Structure 1
Amino acid sequence: MNVRQNTRLSAVLFTGQTERRSLLWVSFSSDILEKKSTMAAAAAVPSSVRGSLREDLTCAICCDLFRDPVMLSCMHHFCKSCISRYWRGTQGPVTCPQCRKEFTSKQFHTNYIVTAMVEKVRVATSDASIKKLEKQLSEALERHHLRKEYIDNCIHKDKEKMDIIKRVAADLRDRVKGEFRALHQILQDEETCMLEQLRREQEEELQKVQRHLEASELSVRELENNIRLLQQANGSLTEFPQLSRPCVQVETDTDFDVNAFSSRYLAPLQYITWRKMFHSVKPGPSPLVFDVETAHPSIYISRDKTVAVECDDMILHTSHSQRFLQCVNILAVQSFQSGRHYWEVEVGHSLKWDVGVASEAVDRRARIKLSPESGYWTLRLRKGNEYWAGTQPWTRLQVGSPPQRIGVYLDCDERRVSFYDADDMRLLYTFSNGPRGRALPFFSPCISDDRHRPQPIRLLHYPPVALSA
């Protein structure tokens, strides 16, 4: 240990000559050392600093860490055994091995703080300590690698999700544009047709007036010519002058009926066009009717087959293999296997009902839970305010205001069944694993209790109306 390092360490550690002050320093230093983990301290301190500390705690005689370090009056430290061996056999004054200062007697003081520090450094630099530290570092490194791998996977998944969102949004954007392009085309065609009709009617009216105008002008010219002949004959009247030709007969012109001409184009054109659009809207509202052959005996069907209601008395229907016998269900006559279809059902203020789609092959003679696994994709109401999607188990829906009309949208190609509040087209629920093959609209007015009157289910029709051109 050089003089500068030993002096620096001694100046920090030296506490005076009294035993009480030394003991206080020892107690204080031990508390601090116990509060800090040796491994954590060794890992936190740079290797260059740890090397300098080890050098400061190295005996200048044996060149190893102090063992039972003692301090001379010159404040240099040595191992107790080393300084004792160094002074052995010396008679009279002794000297410091480093600074050569002489002492009249062989006196030194035990420094407990340095002893504690030496033990900590020895433990921290031992093979077992290093292996333990290396193990901790290896485990920490592995944890960080695993954490980084997890975050890298999250980043990769997020980027994939962003790509999916962009791709799906682009497809949906093209689809929306296509749908509205079709509507724009319908409106464009209607506008072109109506403007062409207006042009033709205008041309017809102008031609009528033009023919009358030409006849009138010809008649005026002939009359003027006759007048001139008559005037010339007036001076030498011997005989009645020979007129060029009889006057052209001009029919009395009828007044132009502005109201009749304008009425077609002052009509509610938007409403008329909206009605015509039912011919071309895809999917347009399907005009469904109930299939009496599938109705449970407790269901009454109206004569036009658009209203179904549960009744108390069993109706004697003819026996049919397609009839529901266990549950109060009924199907529509129409069935769908491809394309997109939409229909609306008025449920009114009924307290319970089931509406949806059923596969053609469902078992109609057994009591089966309404679920996609059984061939049913339904929306249901129970207790007047509980709306459920017919999954297995059921999915409770937060609907808000009770819908009076339910819109059902079936996309056979995409295998989707969606339900809407038909008043504001608010989506209620979508099945993404819809039916394969042929499917039919499904309905159930359910069995009412004795306290409430049965409420009907009504199929709403928006038939295309043929409007004259």
Structure 2
Amino acid sequence: MQQSMASAARELVIQRLGLVRSLCETEEQRLLERVHGEEERAHQSILTQRVHWAEALQKLDTIRTSLVDMLTHTDDLQLIQKEQEIFERAEEAEGILDPQESKKLNFNETCAWSPLLTQLWATAALGSLSGTEDVRIDERTVSPFLQLSDDGRTLTFNAKKSKACADGPERFDHWPNALAATSFQSGLHAWMVNVQNSCAYKVGVALGQLPRKGSGSDSRLGHNAYSWVFSRYDQEFCFSHGGQHVPLGLLRCPAQLGVLLDLQAQELLFYDPTSGTVLHTHHASFPGPLFPVFAVADQTISIVH
């Protein structure tokens, strides 16, 4: 009986792996065909531009020769009489310099985007990387409205400001924020946050120069150029950066939130591991090392290890 169950389980694993492999191969072929088609289109656009500018150069050279000859061999009285002709030739030269099909030279990066590939990649990356990195919160940065657990992984919101926290340059003194102790400058990184107990939180990444003091937008996560965050407030979810907020129409509240940071691809991805859903993907040219960042204004959130 046990051997039969084991054999059935083995066959199920092989069947599902075969299906995933087949899906990946089909998607790979589709994406490669789209990228190849885009390369061909861009290449033809470049060739068209080369022909256009070669012809333009020849026309400009002809106009230049004509104007130089006119200015060199024509007396002042005749030049006055030819003023309109000179103006028309100059205007013709300006028209030749207008670019042709310049917008078509832009490579369409979305041709390489695949929801299936992104989801499979996020699942595999988070499954293998999550918990391998020891992401802990830097106690020196923790807002006086938050309490940090002894293991440095759980933040609990307190409506009453704590007087026990010694103020310092690293500490957030108004918004309920906290930074991780470790920053990432290159490579692929993943961490998971348990958010099921909170109805008001922010999770994401921030630059080390994120301001820590005052109630202004400079130190409010997602409202400045220093932070990129996924946030929840009651039943509303959004991605925020630089004061721009992208609403996310989620059908269910994630119990855990996976964060995937690919610094080679300059991509930040948020993921629901329970449903296997990519919640949001953001591409940016991050200007420096990034710290995991957190905020909580209701109950508790904690880094899963």
TM category (shorter chain) comes to: 0.5 to 0.7
Unaligned 5+ segments in structure 2 are 1-100
Residues matched between the structures, number: 197
Measured after TM superposition, the shift of residue 160 of structure 1 is: 8.3
Give the corresponding residue for 2:211. 363
Q: How many angstroms apart in 2 are the aligned matches of 1:284 and 1:318?
A: 31
> Residues 353-408 of structure 1, C-alpha deviation per residue, up to 9 Å, x if partnerless?
111101011111133243374211001111x2100111433111111111011111
Q: TM-score, normalised by structure 2?
A: 0.56
Give the corresponding residue for 1:460. 304
> Residues 75-101 of structure 1, C-alpha deviation per residue, up to 9 Å, x if partnerless?
xxxxxxxxxxxxxxxxxxxxxxxxxxx
SS at match of 2:281: strand
Q: TM-score, normalised by structure 1?
A: 0.38
Letter aligned with residue 424 of structure 1:
S
Give the corresponding residue for 1:291. 138
Q: How many angstroms apart in 2 are the aligned matches of 1:303 and 1:418?
A: 29
In the TM superposition, 1:14-413 aligns within 5 A as 168=112, 281=128, 285-311=132-158, 312-367=160-215, 368=217, 369-371=220-222, 373-382=224-233, 384-391=234-241, 392-413=243-264
Letter aligned with residue 236 of structure 2:
E
CA contact (8 A) 1:296 1:329 kept: yes
Measured after TM superposition, the shift of residue 313 of structure 1 is: 4.5
Q: How many angstroms apart in 1 are the aligned matches of 2:265 and 2:188?
A: 9
Unaligned 5+ segments in structure 1 are 1-152, 184-277, 447-453, 462-469
Identity of aligned residues (%): 25
Q: How many angstroms apart in 2 are the aligned matches of 1:386 and 1:164?
A: 30
Letter aligned with residue 401 of structure 1:
R
Q: How many angstroms apart in 1 are the aligned matches of 2:259 and 2:174?
A: 25
Q: Which has the larger radius of gyration?
A: 1
Measured after TM superposition, the shift of residue 457 of structure 1 is: 0.8
Considering only aligned residues, what root-mean-square deviation do their CA atoms show, in Å? 3.5
Higher relative contact order (CA 8 A, sep 6+): 2
**Cα gap change, 1:176/1:366 in structure 2, threshold over 3 Å: closer, same or farther?**
closer
Considering fraction of residues, name the structure with more strand.
Answer: 2
SS at match of 1:293: helix
SS at match of 2:140: helix
**Cα gap change, 1:401/1:285 in structure 2, threshold over 3 Å: closer, same or farther?**
farther
Letter aligned with residue 347 of structure 1:
V
Letter aligned with residue 239 of structure 2:
A
Measured after TM superposition, the shift of residue 445 of structure 1 is: 0.8
SS at match of 2:244: coil
Letter aligned with residue 375 of structure 1:
Y
